[in-house]
């Protein structure tokens, strides 16, 4: 079916529009209508006599398990005003803003990272906290959803914690816990590499603020390198809990606010990752100094990938698939790199660990232009950087122009000739 759709470009584009625009819009409208109706009903029942509170309808509506939260609460604002019912600390109010240059992916991309500021860093403590759905969003007893656990008003609609009909009975966790599970690191599948680096791991920077005996809730499915990264932070099996459940009741919960997301400029997260992992790079691994990062997925890839890889290989560049390395080797690979090239995506985001004198050449397409690499390289201090955006085909693929690629290499001081 998909193959037939792709053979007729205008039909494929219409199908994509329906799936990505119309269907989500109808779904969001339905959830918002329910939340508005439920909130009004709750207010009407709550504000009248106590007998009405005991009705079966009210009991059903007020139960966290039945239907999504219909109100929102900002823990950050509660901490700002010193509300005594929520203990915690604001670690950082503002992380600053990236430099947005004309023509850059930050300026012309679809994710507008420079507008997601300020992005504060804080933590809070909650007794008998309810964590719900695949994202384990924090919900209070009166069905208020913590905004920061779902990345704020701009992003809550797509979060599972704001869109569910029925939850199973809660699984109780005794003792002290924190969590790195979220919409971008959910507990029902293996997290994308960039989201693991930028959304999950940086939340552990606040462990230094928490009691020494605290344990960490992690997604139910993790890749080997993700487990390795936790071990490198001293989080052995006795300190983590793989949690595939969609409803947890935590006795003593320390909420670590998301320090970043891919769509948010976060030098705080980059500093934590570099300080935590660079000293633990694999000393036995001898990486190449110049390499092309291969993209293993079929989506959003190059049509002439084999030709591009052959051109780099003929000039002595290594062809690297980071997924074949351990996390410690991956860190060493990028930390020792003199030059890195590849398709915009998770692989190039490992330049988090690169030196400031590394040269980076990226190829992208206009279907989904993400400025995350721009702000990562700004934070690391890399100046030799070139990216070119190509028009994507209806099937979200593109072909790299070797003449343009040669100009990119020349612009960052890599004067090897790719073209015979």
Q: Which position has the token pair 């990938």?
A: 305
pLDDT band for 391, please (50, 70, 90 cuts). Answer: confident
Which DSSP state fits 220?
Answer: S
- As a whole number, mean pLDDT of residues 298-305 equals 71
The pLDDT score that the predictor gives to residue 51 is: 45
Residue-wise pLDDT for 86-106, tens only, equals: 999 999 998 888 888 887 888
Q: Tell me the domain boundaries of the chain.
A: 1-62, 71-92+121-263, 281-411
pLDDT band for 41, please (50, 70, 90 cuts). Answer: low
- Rounded CA separation 135/99 (Å): 32
The pLDDT score that the predictor gives to residue 54 is: 53
Cβ density class 31-55: b for 16+ within 10 Å, e for less: beeebeebeeebeebeeeeeeeeee
Q: What is the chain's mean pLDDT, rounded?
A: 86
- Rounded CA separation 120/117 (Å): 8
Question: Distances from the Cα of 251 to the Cαs of 165, 172, 238, 254, in angstroms?
Answer: 24, 7, 18, 10
Token output for 408: 């990119």
Pairing, β 144-146 against β 71-73: parallel
Which DSSP state fits 57?
Answer: H
Q: Which position has the token pair 């300080």?
A: 275
Q: Which position has the token pair 């929520």?
A: 86
Residue-wise pLDDT for 352-365, tens only, equals: 999 999 999 999 88
This prediction's pTM: 0.88
DSSP codes of every residue in 81-127: TT-TTS-EEEEES--------TTSHHHHSSS-GGGS----EEEEEEE
**3-state class of 239 per DSSP?**
helix
DSSP codes of every residue in 58-78: HHHHH-TTBS---EEE-HHHH
Question: Distances from the Cα of 300 to the Cαs of 344, 400, 403, in angstroms?
Answer: 10, 13, 21
- Select from 152, 144, 137, 233 the least CA-distant residue to 187: 137
Cβ neighbours around 398 below 10 Å, total? 22
Which DSSP state fits 161?
Answer: G
The pLDDT score that the predictor gives to residue 92 is: 92
Q: Which position has the token pair 């420079």?
A: 114
Residue-wise pLDDT for 118-137, tens only, equals: 889 999 999 999 999 999 99
| Least confident piece of the model among 66-75, 112-121, 159-168 | 112-121
CATH of domain 281-411: 3.40.50
Question: Distances from the Cα of 142 to the Cαs of 46, 63, 390, in angstroms?
Answer: 11, 8, 50
- Rounded CA separation 147/418 (Å): 50
pLDDT band for 5, please (50, 70, 90 cuts). Answer: low
pLDDT-above-70 percentage for the chain = 87
pLDDT band for 186, please (50, 70, 90 cuts). Answer: very high
| Strands of the sheet with 359-365, listed across from one edge | 318-320, 290-293, 339-343, 359-365, 385-390
- Rounded CA separation 224/218 (Å): 14
DSSP codes of every residue in 277-307: HGGGS-TT----SEEEEPP--STT-BTTHHH
- Select from 330, 323, 351 the least CA-distant residue to 288: 330
Residue-wise pLDDT for 242-285, tens only, equals: 999 999 999 999 999 987 666 678 899 999 999 999 999 999 99
């Amino acid at each position: 079916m998909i193959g037939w759709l792709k053979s007729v470009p205008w039909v494929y584009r219409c199908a994509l529009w329906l799936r990505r625009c119309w269907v989500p819009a109808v779904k969001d409208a339905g959830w918002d209508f329910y939340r508005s109706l439920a909130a009004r009903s709750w207010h009407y029942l709550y504000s009248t006599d106590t007998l009405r509170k005991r009705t079966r309808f009210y009991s059903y509506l007020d139960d966290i398990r039945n239907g999504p939260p219909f109100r929102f609460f900002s823990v950050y604002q509660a901490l700002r005003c010193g509300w005594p019912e929520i203990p915690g600390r604001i670690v950082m109010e503002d992380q600053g803003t990236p430099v947005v240059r004309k023509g850059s992916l930050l300026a012309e991309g679809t994710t507008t990272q420079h507008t997601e500021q300020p992005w504060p860093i804080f933590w809070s403590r909650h007794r008998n906290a309810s964590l719900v759905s695949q994202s384990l969003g924090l919900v209070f007893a009166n069905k208020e959803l913590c905004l920061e656990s779902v990345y704020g008003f701009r992003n809550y609609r797509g979060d599972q914690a704001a869109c569910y009909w029925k939850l199973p009975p809660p699984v109780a966790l005794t003792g002290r816990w924190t969590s790195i599970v979220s919409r971008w690191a959910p507990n029902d599948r293996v997290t994308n590499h960039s989201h693991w680096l930028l959304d999950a791991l940086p939340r552990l920077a606040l462990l230094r603020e928490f009691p020494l005996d605290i344990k960490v809730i992690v997604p139910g499915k993790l890749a080997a390198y993700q487990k390795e990264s936790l071990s490198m932070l001293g989080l052995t099996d006795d300190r983590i809990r793989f949690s595939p459940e969609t409803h947890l009741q935590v006795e003593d919960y320390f909420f670590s606010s998301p320090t970043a997301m891919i769509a948010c400029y976060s030098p705080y997260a980059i500093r934590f990752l570099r300080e935590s992992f660079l000293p633990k790079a694999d000393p036995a691994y001898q990486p190449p100094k110049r390499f092309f990062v291969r993209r293993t997925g079929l989506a959003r890839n190059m049509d002439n990938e084999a030709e591009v890889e052959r051109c780099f290989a003929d000039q002595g560049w290594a062809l690297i698939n980071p997924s074949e390395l351990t996390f410690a080797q991956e860190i060493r690979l990028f930390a020792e790199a003199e030059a890195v090239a590849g398709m915009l995506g998770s692989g190039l985001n490992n330049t988090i660990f690169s030196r400031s004198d590394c040269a980076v050449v990226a190829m992208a397409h206009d279907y989904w232009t993400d400025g995350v690499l721009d702000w990562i390289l700004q934070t690391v201090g890399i100046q030799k950087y070139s990216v070119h955006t190509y028009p994507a085909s209806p099937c979200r693929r593109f072909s790299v122009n070797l003449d343009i690629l040669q100009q990119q290499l020349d612009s960052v001081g890599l004067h090897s000739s790719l073209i015979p």
